[in-house]
Chain A
């Protein structure tokens, strides 16, 4: 049995001359809660579509539980093991909540009636209401219910809390953590809500312009990256060349703000050796890290 839930190797995908993915690598271990981050148009949804077999990579390979999702037959078998919440949270407009549940149930041999009942109640979903009469938030909740109740080994969630109020979003996140802890379900989710990702993810990948720019265990990354602030009493010297590891450097008045991913000690020693400086280091939040990486690009 493969240890990876998802593996993507050198994925490339172009649309009308625009490269959406440029050699993306991705490894999602089984049982992890994996945050997939990036700006709009970074290639997140394209990646998810390739993983769900909705699109084919021009080059490279994607595997879920060691199986190629793009194959019609094996992909269908694979989808029994995957719960999916797409970016477009639309369902059949002619069905009610209970009809869409009844429709979905027979496709999944491990359908969890207990989870279905639990989330129907927890999300306060009206069984008799037609899909078009549901609010955006309600539709998001229903999509989550349908993904979770499949009894899947892997949940692929594209902006799962989109449209949910903060209280319900919090509740959903707690449920996802509980699901991962109790059943070992792997959760792969993309989100713009960095605080949410920080709250539940144990691993992340940040992608930009179709390639992974940072990837790893969230705690390791937070320890690895530091903000070093160097204040110069007499202004920033023009000819300063920082040591390797100073990934992102911003000059703000008399202060230099450095995001360092490695070699922090050497950078701090270099800063302290400069005349008239005071040097401080700060831990980096995921939000800061994300914004800094995006800003630099």
Chain B
């Protein structure tokens, strides 16, 4: 039932995010890149909708993702009812975060379907589906880190600030990485562009491990905060 409740609370935002991804994917359709440039520039361009969705869904969705655990405008009073249910906060948190990640994955699937249909197919670039799958998995890890960041901020910031905190942290990380570059295999933003599996044909394991570790730490801290929250 908690899954159903979570779905009720997030479905409009999810549909909005999905619609936005499609619109942005269509709007960013351009000329095919020169073959010599590889897939990097094309993927970099098409990452706009993916990254936008990554920021949008956790940023906008977290306030309802944690609706049963944090005060939020629309669900403020019902929080007490949720917390009176015989369910641990850990389970409430896990259900919410798992649902959010599933929705994030759905956005990824749509994003890469859009990339495949709108960008790569018209350009008649022959992309191996396995490479696109690898890229999608790497992107999901990246987006999971962004989502986890959103959850982390949602655990202790009011909804007005949590969205901006997520955006500024992601942008700040991009700026820092542009000045103090990491090895390409570790940089999550390069992994989604120039060092994409579409170009390298290999899974960026190191970057994925770093992102997974980062996500795990952020979610664990958020859970610890949520367990100690007072209402």
Which of A84, A90, A92 interacts with B84 by CB under 8 Å? A84
Contact A86 B5 (CB under 8 A): no
Known: A86-B80, A92-B5, A93-B78. A76 touches B230 (CB 8 A): no
Stretch at the interface among B87-95, B100-108, B173-181: B87-95
Q: Does A54 contact B (CB under 8 A)?
A: yes
Determine if A54 and B227 form an interchain contact, defined as CB atoms under 8 angstroms apart: no
Q: Which of A55, A82, A86, A95 has the most CB of B within 10 A?
A: A86
Bound form: Cα–Cα A191–B9 in Å: 33
- Say whether A104 faces chain B, with CB atoms less than 8 Å apart: yes
Closest to B227 in A: A72
Provide the bound-state CA to CA distance between A82 and B76, in Å: 22
B124 at the interface (CB under 8 A from A): no
Contact present for B86 and A55 (CB under 8 Å):
no
CB distance from B161 to the nearest CB of A (A): 20
Q: Taking the complex as formed, is A248 at the interface, i.e. its CB lies under 8 A from any CB of chain B?
A: no
Task: Confirm or deny: A63 has a beta carbon within 8 angstroms of a beta carbon on chain B.
Answer: no
Q: State whether A90 and B5 are in contact (beta carbons under 8 Å apart), knowing that A54-B83, A76-B88 are contacts in the complex.
A: no
B78:A92 contact, CB within 8 angstroms: yes
A89 on the interface (CB 8 Å rule)? yes
Shortest C-beta distance, A152 to chain B (Å), equals 10
A residues contacting the other copy or chain, number (CB 8 A): 33
Q: Tell me if B85 counts as interface (CB < 8 A to partner A).
A: yes
Asked if residues B84 and A82 are in contact (CB atoms below 8 Å), the reply is: yes
Task: Look across to chain B and name the residue whose beta carbon is closest to the beta carbon of A73.
Answer: B88
- In the complex, the answer to whether A79 meets B230 with C-beta atoms within 8 Å is no
Interface size of B by CB at 8 A reads 24
Interchain nearest-CB distance for B2 vs A (Å): 9
Q: Contact between B231 and A55 (Cβ–Cβ < 8 Å)?
A: yes
Judge if A106 is at the interface, Cβ distance under 8 Å.
Answer: yes
A91 and B78 in contact (CB under 8 A), knowing A104-B85, A107-B85, A108-B86? yes
Contact B83–A52 (Cβ < 8 Å): yes
Query: B186 in the interface, Cβ–Cβ < 8 Å?
Result: no
Write the nearest CB–CB distance from B83 to chain A, whole angstroms: 6
Task: Identify the closest chain B residue to A87 (Cβ).
Answer: B80
The distance in angstroms between the C-alpha atoms of A93 and B81, with both chains bound, is 12
Q: Is the CB of A79 within 8 A of B84?
A: yes
| A152, B151: Cα distance in complex, Å | 34
Q: Which of A78, A94, A106: most chain B CB closer than 10 A?
A: A94
Known A-B contacts A56-B230, A93-B78; A103 and B83 likewise in contact (beta carbons under 8 Å): no
What's the minimum C-beta distance from B220 to chain A, rounded to whole angstroms? 15
**Contact B86 A77, beta carbon cutoff 8 Å:** yes
With A88-B77, A91-B81 already in contact, the answer to whether A76 and B86 are too (CB < 8 A) is yes
User: A54, A94, A108: which contacts B8 (Cβ < 8 A)?
Assistant: A94
Chain B residues within an 8 Å CB radius of A39: none
Binary A-proximity of B6-23 (CB < 8 A = 1, otherwise 0) = 001100000000000000
A94 touches B80 (CB 8 A): no
* Nearest residue, chain B, Cβ from A52: B84
Q: Which of A33-83 contact B (CB under 8 A)?
A: 49, 52-56, 72-73, 75-80, 82
Residue of B nearest to A94 (CB): B8
Q: How far is the CB of B90 from chain A (nearest CB, A)?
A: 6
Using A91-B78, A95-B8 as known contacts, say yes or no to A55 and B230 having CB atoms under 8 A apart.
Answer: yes
Would you call B37 an interface residue if the criterion is a C-beta within 8 Å of the partner chain's C-beta atoms?
Answer: no
A-B contact pairs, 8 of them (CB 8 A): A52-B83, A52-B84, A54-B83, A76-B86, A76-B88, A90-B76, A95-B8, A107-B87
Q: Would you list the 6 A-B pairs with minimal beta carbon distance, nearest first?
A: A90-B77, A86-B80, A88-B77, A84-B84, A80-B86, A79-B86
Name A's B-contacting residues (CB within 8 A). 49, 52-56, 72-73, 75-80, 82, 84, 86-95, 103-104, 106-108, 143, 146
